[in-house]
Chain A
Amino acid sequence: MQEKSTTKLKKGLELALFFLLLIVLWQVLYLLFVDVFKVWKPYSAPSPAGVWSTFVNLLKSGVLLSALLKSLGRGGAGFALSVFAGLILGVLIHHFPYLNRNLKPVIMGMQTLPSICWVPFAILWFGLNNSAILFVVVMGSAFSVALAVDDGIKSVPPLYIKAAKTMGAGQRDLYLKVILPACVPSFIAALKQGWSFAWRALMSGEVMSSTVGLGQTLIIGRDMADINQVMLVMLVIIAAGVLIDKCIFTALENRVLRKRGLM
């Protein structure tokens, strides 16, 4: 136990040092190209100090926090909707051979479409509001969830099902007590993938519309020619996406895999 926590600390320290190195490198580049060689204009290159002071300002005024919370709330809602839709769609295309043959290729095609392509439709159908963004999020991630669910059910080892059948499991027991629990790891993988698609789609939607959120804060930065604000919001988007993935989905995944001896 003791050893484990020290290696964890070591890894954390290593990562922190790496980030510090990146920031130093960034500062050096900024100094070289903006101040010494003057090839970059100060208004087109963000600096660590500038981003930091923007961060402090936006934090003090409360703009950053409210934008982040709004985005997270919206992302969560959109994600929940797409998981719901994706689960149903996934089970349907798994269960009915007709849909598996015909609808699945369509879904695979839809999944390759970048979510930003849905923005024009969203605005035409819903206007420049919350529903439009939710629509973009759902279109951006539900298909990937559906495909992952289909894949997950397909990869249940046949022996699990055979064993249950010879022990007299009915259809209901088979699905609830064998197939469903067997699918849990792939469902979590599906959630994880769905979240990353949803978060990206959310930003495409927010950038285009005019409701409070990280996307809008980024666009305001652009409109005010404040490259530091643009950079700051980008960093926040990355951090929030990664943190949610690590703290919720990866943590959940690790727990399940460890319990089953798969890692």
Chain B
Amino acid sequence: MLELKHVGKTYPHTVKRTLKDINLTIEEGEFICIVGPSGCGKTTLLNLVAGLEEPTKGEIFLDGVPVKGPGADRVVMFQEAALYPWLNVMDNVMLGMEFLGIPKEERKSRALKYLKMVHLSQFTEYPIHQLSGGMRQRVALARALSMDSKILLMDEPFSALDKQTTNMLRGELEQIWMKDHSKTILFVTHSAEEAVYFADRIVVLSENPGQIKEIIPCDLKRPRQIDDEAFVHLRHMLLESVKKEVVKFAREEYDEA
């Protein structure tokens, strides 16, 4: 269980609060999607849970223990791919498992398995700089999944991919998550469709300062069909909620000017 209690964040050397009074309890095995306008603090929220940043207010508990620093139980898939340019595709995927102390043979077979899953098994020997942005994202996805962490923090993991690839990877990710329902996933996205596709609950953030505007429960039957009536309805609701937020903020900007 992951608990955020009155979490606030103000970055040093800045005056404005990035996050304010975030209260959220996430059960084990839950799939949580986080949406909100650009710059509202979604990445910051993930970084706090990851332990890369410390909250300036409140506390975060993981199974009752306060979160202190990063760890392999909360693997992050960053908004930028965060791969290492001195390693090829295969070695990049294997490095994470190496940190975990997994023996070489297993590292290899697991890396291959996930590279196959993201359709990159032909590219194992490629240096990172010869991959496209979307290919890099898929390598990062393979690396994150291969670590098999209890909590997976994903920051717009499919943003650089085309529709077909996204659909395919959505299915794969959902299957991995459904397999034993023990993985907790926090998934940041800009796509309402994606949020409704995955989420058990959707957290809508509002901005300036970033705070929880509403939490939309989402209990459609899985696997979800995006043209299903209930799906469309929920997606519409979510879009409205986010849009109001953006419009409100735009008006504030306008009034100030």
Interface positions of A (Cβ within 8 A of B): 159-160, 162-170, 173, 177-178, 181-182, 184, 259-262
Least distance between B73 CB and chain A CB atoms (Å) = 8
What A residues does B75 contact at CB under 8 A?
Answer: 166-167
Provide the bound-state CA to CA distance between A167 and B143, in Å. Answer: 10
Would A167 and B99 count as touching, CB distance under 8 A?
Answer: yes
Provide the bound-state CA to CA distance between A184 and B129, in Å. Answer: 17
Given contacts A166-B70, A184-B86, contact A177 B95 (CB under 8 A): yes
Contacting residue for B129 out of A166, A173, A261, CB 8 A: A261
1/0 per residue, CB under 8 A from A, across B170-185: the answer is 0000000000000000
Provide the bound-state CA to CA distance between A181 and B86, in Å. Answer: 7
Would B76 and A260 count as touching, CB distance under 8 A?
Answer: no
Would A160 and B96 count as touching, CB distance under 8 A?
Answer: no
Would A260 and B82 count as touching, CB distance under 8 A?
Answer: no
Would B99 and A162 count as touching, CB distance under 8 A?
Answer: no
Given contacts A184-B86, A260-B86, contact A163 B78 (CB under 8 A): yes
B100 within 8 A of A: yes
1/0 per residue, CB under 8 A from A, across B84-100: the answer is 11100000000110111
B128 within 8 A of A: yes
B72 within 8 A of A: yes
What B residues does A167 contact at CB under 8 A?
Answer: 72, 75, 95-96, 99-100, 143, 147
Q: Which residue of B lies closest to A181 (CB)?
A: B86
Q: Which residue of A lies closest to B88 (CB)?
A: A259
Contacting residue for B84 out of A165, A182, A259, CB 8 A: A182
What B residues does A169 contact at CB under 8 A?
Answer: 99
What B residues does A177 contact at CB under 8 A?
Answer: 95, 98-99
Given contacts A159-B78, A166-B52, A166-B71, contact A260 B95 (CB under 8 A): no
Given contacts A166-B70, A166-B75, A177-B98, contact A160 B84 (CB under 8 A): yes
Would A178 and B84 count as touching, CB distance under 8 A?
Answer: yes
Provide the bound-state CA to CA distance between A164 and B100, in Å. Answer: 11
Would B127 and A168 count as touching, CB distance under 8 A?
Answer: no
Would B85 and A162 count as touching, CB distance under 8 A?
Answer: no
Would B86 and A164 count as touching, CB distance under 8 A?
Answer: no
